[in-house]
Amino acid sequence: MYTAKFGGTATAPHNLKYVLSLIDDNMGAVVVSACGRSFDGDEKVTDLLNLFYVTRDEMVWRKIEAKYRRLVEINGINVDIDKLLAEKKRNMCGNDRAYCLSVGEELTAKCVAAATGREYVEAADYICFDEGGRFDYRETKRRVETLANQKFVVGGFYGGKRDGGRATFERGGGDISGAIFAVWTSATLYENYTDVDGVCVANPRCVFCPKVLPRISYGQMRLLGSCGAEVLHPSAVDLPQKAALPVVVKNFWGSCGTTVYNYPCVDDVVSVTCRKTDGLYVTSVLHNLPDMGARAIADIARDVKNCVARCELSRDISKIYASQDLTVETYNAFFQA
């Protein structure tokens, strides 16, 4: 069996039908994120839940209700969503922020379980944290291993504390939940479904139709994640690497995707990423030709010298610190030259 994790875009009301068509008898654990955005500019459920926790504004709660009613209505799911929403609202009023933030994943998982006829598994009963909110590796492993060979749906991103409360991973932590269930239920593959075709050589939001890498190593994936690539949480790589479990990052609309395993991408230049830190944009280039990489980075820095603060050159990854995002300029220098 294999484990599949579906991100928020996949579980949005008009996209859930694709998720339901992908779930088959070979899938053991199905891990889902909170119902995602329906259109550009739409608000994320997790952001709305956080806002409701802070303000207790009824208008905010109505937006959350509308999202889940739409999810159920569009996909013909036989579940009493009004009852679920009322129950969660009551529980949120007496709980902390972590509990409130976890409600999106819980509701989505219950809807997907109802739509597929699968068992719903409560993440708080299997993903364990101590009273201080620190991940409990041993207890989580012991509990999740009892789910081996079972078919179920579970919410990502959160778990339960010893005192009965809830705790969450950081944003994007649903990928970590997926890795946990994949490795400790002895899955043969971890498929991570997102809204891009795989790991690209550059951010597809900045560069038109960038190449998708067919394969990449665990170490390369971790580096890209730490440098700003948002396709897979960097901490979701650790457990699969220790277990030598392949991870496939792919689009839920259908694509071959990128396989993350022990075999590195040996292209001269692997990928260009960017993240903002301490007021500067850090554009990073992962490469396999240190000398050529250093020369190209130096050329880019010279061409846009007015916005470049400094450069860092190393054997496998080079970085430009600047006052603007240099993804396009860097991509053009390496891939369009």
Q: How far apart are CA 30 and CA 23, in angstroms?
A: 8
Q: How far apart are CA 58 and CA 54, in angstroms?
A: 12
- Predicted confidence (pLDDT) at residue 290 exceeds the cutoff of 90: no
pLDDT (mean) for 6-26: 96
DSSP 3-state of 2: strand
Q: How far apart are CA 261 and CA 256, in angstroms?
A: 15
Q: Report all structural domains of the chain as residue ranges with CATH numbers, in order of start.
A: 2-195 (3.40.1160.10), 269-335 (3.30.70)
Listed residue (207, 110, 188, 114) closest to 149, CA to CA: 188
Cβ contact 237:243 at 8 Å: no
The contacts of residue 289 (CB under 8 Å, 6+ apart) are 268, 269
The contacts of residue 122 (CB under 8 Å, 6+ apart) are 106, 154
Q: How far apart are CA 10 and CA 35, in angstroms?
A: 8
Cβ contact 212:258 at 8 Å: yes
Reported confidence tier of residue 337, pLDDT bands at 50, 70, 90: low
- Give the rounded percent of residues in the chain with a pLDDT score beyond 90: 77
Placement of tokens 């067919």 in the chain: 214
**pTM (predicted TM-score):** 0.93
pLDDT (mean) for 11-26: 96
pLDDT tens-digit map of 44-88: 999 999 999 999 999 999 999 999 999 999 999 999 999 999 999
Q: How far apart are CA 158 and CA 171, in angstroms?
A: 10
Q: Residue 59 belongs to what H/E stretch? A: helix 58-75
pLDDT score at 305: 67
| DSSP output for 63-115 | HHHHHHHHHHHHHT--S-HHHHHHHHHHHHTTS-HHHHHHHHHHHHHHHHHHH
Mean pLDDT of the chain: 93
Q: How far apart are CA 296 and CA 253, in angstroms?
A: 36
Q: How far apart are CA 45 and CA 63, in angstroms?
A: 9
Number of CB atoms found within 10 A of residue 160's CB:
22
Cβ contact 194:178 at 8 Å: no
The contacts of residue 90 (CB under 8 Å, 6+ apart) are none
Q: How far apart are CA 273 and CA 199, in angstroms?
A: 11
